[in-house]
Structure 1
Amino acid sequence: MNTTDRTPADLLRSALAADPARPLVTFYDDATGERVELSVATFANWVAKTANYLQGDLAAEPGDRLALLLPAHWQTAVWLLACSSVGVVADVGGDPGAADLVVSGPDTLEEARACTGERVALALRPLGGRFPQAPQGFADYAVEVPSQGDRFAPYAPVSPQDPALAVDGRELTGAEVVTAALADAAERGLAEGSRLLSGLPYDSWAGLSAGLLAPLAAGGSVVLCRNLDRLAADGLAQREESERVTHRAV
């Protein structure tokens, strides 16, 4: 982190400048056997494409509210940073009926239909695969995003003092997100090069922090595990060894 990092998007820019080749997010889904590893550069490219889609095709503006109905997943992490890049408030598990737009996984589509604005659906299939047929009334993220630009510039400046994240019944500004992530990183003893394995869901600050924000703020990386309860009894220790895990949050 640099002293100029005042939003989550700033943290990613600093990570990209420091070492674009290092791993940032390693994702496991123990229900499907999927493993995806994203370097800082690859993750930042997904964020840029998603932010361009959000700002351009979806016409989102700073201050708009996005109901984020997604589980702990590498694509959810991408959306969190894309929202920060545009200045959109990421409302984790928020009410779609009160949101300007909604991003949904395959299990929350009916709930997401309450949104009267733009609706985007993610299949959450291995390798970022698309739906066999896009759900009616939704754009398929995997179809729309790959063609977006690889570089992002916001139409309007994003203020660190504006709301950026809604979770656990409270709203945090971009600056507050960074401050809280740094505090969590210090409390966990994270430092540059740390690898934190997280099996926590993305439905709370604790999960978002352990599963992305604290490792990012510390200059480390995360091994993000979904459906960790499906892992064999000795599987966790083996994963920690193979992934060179230094810290755990499960």
Structure 2
Amino acid sequence: MPYRPAGILARMRSIDPSSPRLVWHGREGRIELSGRVFDNWVAKSSNLLVDELDATDATVVALDLPVHWKSLALAFACWQVGSVVALQDSGDDGSSPRAAQSTADADIILTSRAVEEVEPPRFLVCVALGSLALRWEGPLPRGAVDFAAEVRSHGDVYLGQDGDDAAAQLMRADGRTWTAADLADGVTLPADPGAAGQEAGRARTVLLEPGSDLRRALAAALAVWQEDGALVLVEDGVPVTERMLAGERITARLGTS
């Protein structure tokens, strides 16, 4: 049975917390998050969701975000507070009427794009994806929350009750609902040729090929992190080079589907 999100975060805090768990190669450069640092970002985001956006285990949160390290932290924060993540259908760039419909019943919308304001009691959160961004660039829609400007003021520890029911629905995407088991079971990690003589699947570093959608990235994270491994994500347009593979000590590569 795959570890559920809160279980994964607990392991990040207790098993080699200073070891890399998430590496991002973007156009701005490389970002490495240890288990402790990723857990801190999740905790800060969870506290923002609860304290400022009234998120509960009945809340639907739409992630209008690309594959990015911040997107993973925000998804795990939603799961930590028990909220359901709603994603666009695979292959949708967010501009179609169907994409708009996918967020129609969301209580909170997290977006990295310039969008129109939403009417209360719904919340709009604008997420600047620059790793060092301190605020949203450009004007905020009326009533919107600036994630980068607000999240750092929240605590590094989440003291609320974890939403970690084994049967809980974590995600809505591609016309169906997903639990942690559904997501992780949909990913078969490639064999690690260097694992001979070691416990299979432990502490490996897996690269997810560029071009994957966010559902695939979240499923890969659950599968890799339940084995205490590290996940490497690469932004579209950034080449995967032999130097990158060697530098990150990649042990397996996971395709886009």
Q: CA deviation at 1:104?
A: 0.3
Q: CA deviation at 1:237?
A: 1.5
**Which residue, 41, 66, 74 being the options, matches 2:36?**
41
The corresponding residue for 1:243 is 248
Instruction: Write out per-residue CA displacement over residues 19-42 of structure 1, whole angstroms, 9 at most, x where no aligned residue.
Output: 11110111011xx33211000000
Tell me whether 120-129 or 82-91 shows the greater mean CA deviation: 120-129
The corresponding residue for 1:124 is 129
SS at match of 1:241: helix
- Work out the CA distance in 2 between the residues paired with 1:224 and 1:156: 26
- Work out the CA distance in 2 between the residues paired with 1:214 and 1:156: 20
**Which residue, 7, 10, 15 being the options, matches 2:12?**
15
Residue 107 of structure 2 corresponds to residue 100 of structure 1: yes
The corresponding residue for 2:94 is none
Instruction: Write out per-residue CA displacement over residues 191-241 of structure 1, whole angstroms, 9 at most, x where no aligned residue.
Output: 22211111345635433223x2221111101111011x342xxx5211101
- Work out the CA distance in 1 between the residues paired with 2:179 and 2:128: 30
- Normalising by structure 1, we get a TM-score of 0.83
SS at match of 1:66: strand
The corresponding residue for 2:234 is 225
Closer/same/farther in 2, CA of residues 237 and 72 from structure 1, 3 Å limit: same
The corresponding residue for 1:196 is 206
The corresponding residue for 1:64 is 59
Number of aligned positions between the proteins: 234
- Work out the CA distance in 2 between the residues paired with 1:208 and 1:41: 19
The correspondence of residues 134-173 of structure 1 with structure 2, limited to 5 A, is 134-137=139-142, 138-155=144-161, 158-173=164-179
- Work out the CA distance in 2 between the residues paired with 1:217 and 1:182: 12
CA contact (8 A) 2:3 2:226 kept: no
The corresponding residue for 2:91 is none
Q: CA deviation at 1:128?
A: 4.0
Residue 86 of structure 2 corresponds to residue 91 of structure 1: yes
Closer/same/farther in 2, CA of residues 182 and 18 from structure 1, 3 Å limit: farther
Closer/same/farther in 2, CA of residues 202 and 143 from structure 1, 3 Å limit: farther
Instruction: Write out per-residue CA displacement over residues 33-82 of structure 1, whole angstroms, 9 at most, x where no aligned residue.
Output: 32110000000000000001111110011021111110010000001110
Q: Structure 1: any 5+ residue segments left out of the alignment?
A: none
- Work out the CA distance in 2 between the residues paired with 1:81 and 1:106: 21
SS at match of 1:44: helix
CA contact (8 A) 2:5 2:76 kept: yes
User: Residue 168 of structure 1 aligns to which amino acid in structure 2?
Assistant: D
Tell me whether 131-140 or 44-53 shows the greater mean CA deviation: 131-140
The corresponding residue for 2:68 is 73
User: Residue 205 of structure 2 aligns to which amino acid in structure 1?
Assistant: R
- Work out the CA distance in 1 between the residues paired with 2:119 and 2:62: 11
Q: Structure 2: any 5+ residue segments left out of the alignment?
A: 89-98, 193-200
SS at match of 1:98: coil
The corresponding residue for 2:96 is none
SS at match of 2:233: strand
